[in-house]
Amino acid sequence: MKVCCFGSLNIDRVYALDHIVRPGETISSTDYAVHAGGKGLNQAVALSRTGLDTCHAGKIGPEGLFLRDILDRAGVDTSRVIVDEHSVTGHAIIQVETSGQNSILLFGGANQSITADERRVVWESLPAGSLVLFQNELNDTDILIREAHERGFKVAFNAAPMNEAAKACPYEYVDFLFVNETEAEALTGETTAPRQLEKLAALCPGIVVLTLGSNGARVACNGETWSHGIFPVRAVDTTAAGDTYTGFFLAAYLDSGSIPEAMALAARASALTVTRPGAAESIPTLDEVLHTTLPSD
């Protein structure tokens, strides 16, 4: 099966800090780096690093060409990445504090300018039966999901970042839903994982994946639920941990049809991601995930 990630490509400007800046505070960063990122790009890289036949659809401005190169080097088919001379590439200002925790400020740029014609060209280019993976960093996410479903594609949706547009999406068309606890609370109004999962399952008929940070993840499907913990590694940068989880879960599930196997592989992969700095470049290959010994193995 071909998987198409239709999503954002960002230039991540990453600042290392003792702590994330508080309102009214000015602090100096101890380090600065530019990385490839965007939830879309990261998830495409994760999918491809599992060995899946992956393409990416999205839009960048001229200064974002290195993002396309990074996708190319990761083995992703980038023929559906538009380079618009008149757009500014999306970017993110990311603060990473000593604990590895982050905070992200986004500028959508080209990611927010996908037109109806550009969507149509992508749909017409995809083989029947493809799976399309979305996040909420492009404009018109609700329309993207609806059109993909109406064209007969399987739909996976990482409802992040959570905002009014994400809340308005047609969850009844989603085959795989990925949310963290904050996003789940915004979507359901519930504060506990079991209640969140129950309400998410009522909203979305597919497989619902709820990630819970250091508490691992829970999955609901057809009235059944599963849990899996994390591998307790020392985190240096949590950026792209959720993206890695999404890519590896999807790939493992498509391969095995087993939710427990998909949860185990995704937990291993995201544990490795947080031990490395940056976004896309911190995502491991399937080989590394299978052959690296992790704490509590």
Residues annotated catalytic, as ranges: 243
Q: Which is nearer to ligand RIB, 39 or 119 (CB)?
A: 39
Please report whether residue 92 would count as binding ligand RIB according to CB under 6 A.
yes
CB within 8 Å of 142: residues ≥ 6 apart: 165, 168, 169, 170
Please report whether residue 39 would count as binding ligand RIB according to CB under 6 A.
yes
The stretch among 197-205, 208-216, 240-248, 259-267 that binds ligand RIB (CB under 6 A) is 240-248
CB within 8 Å of 256: residues ≥ 6 apart: 262
x/- map, 5-34, ligand RIB, by CB under 6 A: ---x-x-x----------------------
Contact with ligand RIB (CB under 6 A): which of 17, 20, 21, 104?
104
Residue nearest to ligand RIB (CB): 37
Contact with ligand RIB (CB under 6 A): which of 279, 283, 286, 289?
279
What's the closest the beta carbon of residue 151 comes to ligand RIB, in angstroms? 26
Q: Which two tokens stand for residue 220?
A: 């609901």
Cα–Cα distance, 261 to 89 (Å, whole number):
37
Q: Which is nearer to ligand RIB, 188 or 238 (CB)?
A: 238
Q: Please give the residue ranges that form the binding site for ligand RIB (CB under 6 A).
A: 8, 10, 12, 37-39, 42, 92, 104, 137, 239-240, 242-243, 279
